Amino acid sequence: MLLEVTRLSKKYTRGGRDFPAVDNLSLSLERGGFICLLGRSGSGKSTFLNMLAGLLTPDAGKISFDGLDIFSLDDRARTLWRNDKLGYVPQGASLLSNLSALDNVRLPYHLGSRKGGSLKKARGLMSDLGLAKVEKSYPPALSGGEMRRVALARAMMNEPELIIADEPTSDLDSETAREIAELFTLLNDRGCAFLLATHDLELSRHGRVLKISDGRLLSD
Ligand SMILES: Nc1ncnc2c1ncn2[C@@H]1O[C@H](COP(=O)(O)OP(=O)(O)OP(=O)(O)O)[C@@H](O)[C@H]1O
Ligand SMILES: [Mg+2]
């Protein structure tokens, strides 16, 4: 298994009371697999994905990536792991505003332990995602959909084994969303696994659909 999640839980406090945002959630994703997580707003999708990316510490449970317990790593090692193995597209704004779009895309390559240049690869990805024109622009001058596509290109930069994306097509027009779905399918055919939170039916036609409600998985 590429990803094995066992009885993962996370509580938050609201109005002085604890509530489970993610409640005993288990799942497995095989190498090259494709899972779409569906659930209403507030059902715990982002909380779950943030833990899988190693950005949020679970209260209980285990996340094993390719046999490695990611929370057995210290912060620094986990950051290196994330850069090297994972493409992560968070839900909100995530670009560095003092770097150009192109440099945002190139960043993971230079944070990792990679040798050689990143320019050609980054430009190729940006061109695939229709971003050639905005290479030199800075994030505040990009549209929401362009920012989202830059974040997607950045996630693909290190050719990760797994891409986790939180509503990757939510602020795109239907044509662009369809192109992103096609690109994901292409990468998936080449062996990259995907775990997405999405409401996009086009995306959820591909692969396994899991439903989450109040932090629990409903069906497979
Ligand atoms: N840092 C936090 N502190 C307290 N409660 C939180 C925190 N982050 C999220 N929550 C709550 O946890 C629940 C799950 O939030 P989460 O962001 O995981 O939902 P989601 O399924 O991603 O929703 P959406 O589809 O709107 O993005 C929500 O009720 C939210 O209000
Ligand atoms: Mg969310």
**180 CA to centre of ligand 1 in angstroms:** 26
Phi then psi for residue 190, to 5 deg, are -85, 0
| Burial status of residue 45 (CB atoms within 10 A of its CB: 0-12, 13-18, 19 or more) | buried
Q: Which ligand is nearest to the CA of 47?
A: 1
Residue 199 is predicted with a pLDDT of: 82
Q: What is the pLDDT of residues 45-76, one digit of tens each?
A: 999 999 999 999 999 999 999 999 999 999 99
Residue 92 is predicted with a pLDDT of: 85
**61 CA to centre of ligand 1 in angstroms:** 19
Residue written as token pair 């509580």? 11
Closest Cα partner for 196 from 34, 85, 26, 23? 34
Q: What is the pLDDT of residues 140-188, one digit of tens each?
A: 999 988 999 999 999 999 999 999 999 999 878 888 888 888 889 999 9
Q: What is the pLDDT of residues 91-137, one digit of tens each?
A: 988 999 999 999 999 998 888 767 778 899 999 999 999 999 999 99
Residue 38: pLDDT above 60? yes
Residue type present at position 155: A
Residue 220: pLDDT above 60? no
- Claim: this prediction has a pTM higher than 0.85: yes
Q: What is the mean pLDDT of residues 206-218?
A: 92
Question: Ligand 1, from 46, 91, 211: best to mutate by most atoms within 8 Å of Cβ?
Answer: 46
**41 Cβ closer than 6 Å to some ligand 1 atom:** yes
Secondary structure (DSSP) of 21-81? EEEEEEEEE-TT-EEEEE--TTSSHHHHHHHHTTSS--SEEEEEETTEEGGGS-HHHHHHH
**191 CA to centre of ligand 1 in angstroms:** 31
**132 CA to centre of ligand 1 in angstroms:** 35
Architecture category of domain 3-219 in CATH: 3-Layer(aba) Sandwich (3.40)
**116 CA to centre of ligand 2 in angstroms:** 36
Q: Where are the domains of the chain?
A: 3-219
The closest-lying atom of ligand 1 relative to the alpha carbon of residue 47 is 18
**33 Cβ closer than 6 Å to some ligand 1 atom:** no
Closest Cα partner for 203 from 40, 34, 2? 34
The closest-lying atom of ligand 1 relative to the alpha carbon of residue 215 is 14
Helix H or strand E encompassing 16 = none
The closest-lying atom of ligand 1 relative to the alpha carbon of residue 50 is 18
Secondary structure (DSSP) of 147-216? HHHHHHHHHHTT--SEEEEESTTTTS-HHHHHHHHHHHHHHHHTT-EEEEE---HHHHTSSEEEEEETTE
**14 Cβ closer than 6 Å to some ligand 1 atom:** yes
